[in-house]
Amino acid sequence: MIKKILAGSLLPVMAFAMSVTPALASHWSSSNISVDVDNSAYVKNIVNTDASTGGNVANGGNANGGNANGGNGGVIVTGNADAISTVLNDVNSTYTKVTASCGCRGNIDVDVDNNATVKNYVNTDASTGGNTANGGDATGSSSHHHHHSSTANAGDGGTIVTGNAYADGAVGNLVNSTVTRIRR
């Protein structure tokens, strides 16, 4: 009868020990993974883009005294003025990939803190203006002694033909983007 009592009292103790063992094994094989990413950025862009075909002068000449004739202004033909500026900022982009292939049951903690200040000052100008094509000045004089009249002729203004003015500015900001992938 002692054998029966001993077997009867050992059986619940063994069953309890067997049920506890897998929990202890799972706890022993678990591991926690912690990832901490801190990003901070200050970006300041100052961009000036200028294109110009302007500021041309094709004035006629001046005539001073007597029968002087001023020359005519010239001909100026310019191309196009294209000003293009592009600013692209990719600031504090974080890609985190955690692979826990051990079959672990621990915690995975990913903490990403991003802080950014982005300032863009973009000026884009294109111009074909500021051109002058004025006629010249004429001043005539006559001698009082001979009583002859004189004629002075000023030159005609020139011709200015400019191309097209085109200005394009683009600003793109990708700031504090975060992608986190966790695989178990």
Q: What is the mean pLDDT of each run of 10 residues along the chain (184 residues)?
A: 41 38 37 90 96 90 81 88 95 91 80 95 92 84 54 84 93 95 86
Q: Which of 69, 89, 37 is nearest to 150 (CA)?
A: 69
3-state secondary structure of 2: helix
Q: Which of 110, 113, 119, 116 is nearest to 175 (CA)?
A: 116
Whole-angstrom Cα distance, residue 182 to residue 112? Answer: 14
Are 147 and 71 contacting, i.e. CB atoms less than 8 angstroms apart?
no
Q: What pLDDT, on the 0 to 100 scale, is given for residue 27?
A: 35
Q: Is the pTM of this model over 0.85?
A: no
Q: What pLDDT, on the 0 to 100 scale, is given for residue 67?
A: 79
Whole-angstrom Cα distance, residue 184 to residue 182? Answer: 7
Q: Which of 122, 101, 66, 110 is nearest to 184 (CA)?
A: 101
Q: What pLDDT, on the 0 to 100 scale, is given for residue 74?
A: 85
Q: Cβ neighbours of residue 30 under 8 Å, at least 6 residues apart?
A: 104, 105, 106
Q: What pLDDT, on the 0 to 100 scale, is given for residue 2?
A: 42
Q: What pLDDT, on the 0 to 100 scale, is given for residue 141?
A: 59
